[in-house]
């Protein structure tokens, strides 16, 4: 499944074969896809029954979900899927904008010409998706593009933190891209970005990358989130 892209930088932190991580991944996808709605209760006892294990690994999985901000665990109370408040969305976008600005800046100084060319190929895919109005395809190719950028920044810590933010963002993606005209706008930004990479213009790349993220926030704000 394409969802595996979301965990790319998290894998290896905890053995991906471990039982807790498998449970975490399963639940993370469900939350992020909207099948488990905010406020929905995820108590360890029931999950243990569902996965036919004891509560210990489930508990660990819940802690992982908490660290990714997908679940809230109040002490002595049942854990539940974390709510998505507009304020928090804005906070996350601000961080993400700053960090992707950094990615672009680092990338300009560290990526080879061929690597930058490879980014251009992602750009072609995005353009095609936008032309055909394939919102879903656009989204996933965009994730691929961003992952590729993060990798080229040659900063593993940065990659890991962005991946964590990406999980959160996935939760409200449908709000961000489904607006008319949004895709074409976005694809134009991407083009400017790739050109800045090719020109090795670090400040411009950083600025464009950041504004690209912030435009996504603007789009969400206009839909009027609950």
CB of 70 to DNA, least distance (A): 15
The binder of DNA chosen from 13, 37, 45, 188 (CB under 7 A): 45
- By CB under 8 A, is residue 86 in contact with a second copy? no
CB of 65 to a second copy, least distance (A): 12
Q: How many residues contact a second copy, by CB under 8 A?
A: 27
For the segment 78-107, give every residue that binds DNA (CB under 7 A). 78-79
**What are the Cα distances from residue 17, in Å, to 21, 68, 166, 197?**
7, 19, 22, 37
User: What H or E segment, with its residue span, contains residue 80?
Assistant: strand 80-81
136 binds, among a second copy, DNA, none (CB under 5 to 8 A by kind): none
- DSSP state, residue 111: -
- By CB under 7 A, is residue 160 in contact with DNA? no
- By CB under 7 A, is residue 26 in contact with DNA? no
Q: Is the CB of 164 or the CB of 185 nearer to a second copy?
A: 164
Residue 211 in tokens: 């504004």
* CA-based R_g, the chain, Å: 18
Name the 3-class secondary structure at 14. strand
For tokens 């974390």, name the residue: 82
Per the CB < 8 A criterion, the answer to whether 183 and 215 are in contact is no
CB of 31 to DNA, least distance (A): 16
The contact set with DNA (CB under 7 A) reads 18-20, 43-46, 53-57, 59-60, 73, 75-79
């Amino acid at each position: 499944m394409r969802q595996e892209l979301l965990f790319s930088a998290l894998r290896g932190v905890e053995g991906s074969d471990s039982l807790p991580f498998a449970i975490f991944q399963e639940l993370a996808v469900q939350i992020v896809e909207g099948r488990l709605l905010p406020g929905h209760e995820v108590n360890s006892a029931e999950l243990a029954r569902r996965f036919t294990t004891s509560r210990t690994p489930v508990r660990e999985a819940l802690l992982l979900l908490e660290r990714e901000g997908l679940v809230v665990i109040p002490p002595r109370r049942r854990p539940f899927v974390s709510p998505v408040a507009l304020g928090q969305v804005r906070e996350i976008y601000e961080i993400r904008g700053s960090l992707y600005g950094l990615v672009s800046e680092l990338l300009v100084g560290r990526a080879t010409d061929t690597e930058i060319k490879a980014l251009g190929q992602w750009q072609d895919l995005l353009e095609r998706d936008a032309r055909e109005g394939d919102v879903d395809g656009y989204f996933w190719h965009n994730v691929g593009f961003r992952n590729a950028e993060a990798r080229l920044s040659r900063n593993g810590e940065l990659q890991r933190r962005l991946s964590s933010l990406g999980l959160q963002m996935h939760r409200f993606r449908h709000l961000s891209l489904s607006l008319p005209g949004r895709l074409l706008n976005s694809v134009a930004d991407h083009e400017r970005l790739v050109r800045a990479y090719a020109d090795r213009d670090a400040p411009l790349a950083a600025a464009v990358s950041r504004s690209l993220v912030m435009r996504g926030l603007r789009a969400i704000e206009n839909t009027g989130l609950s």
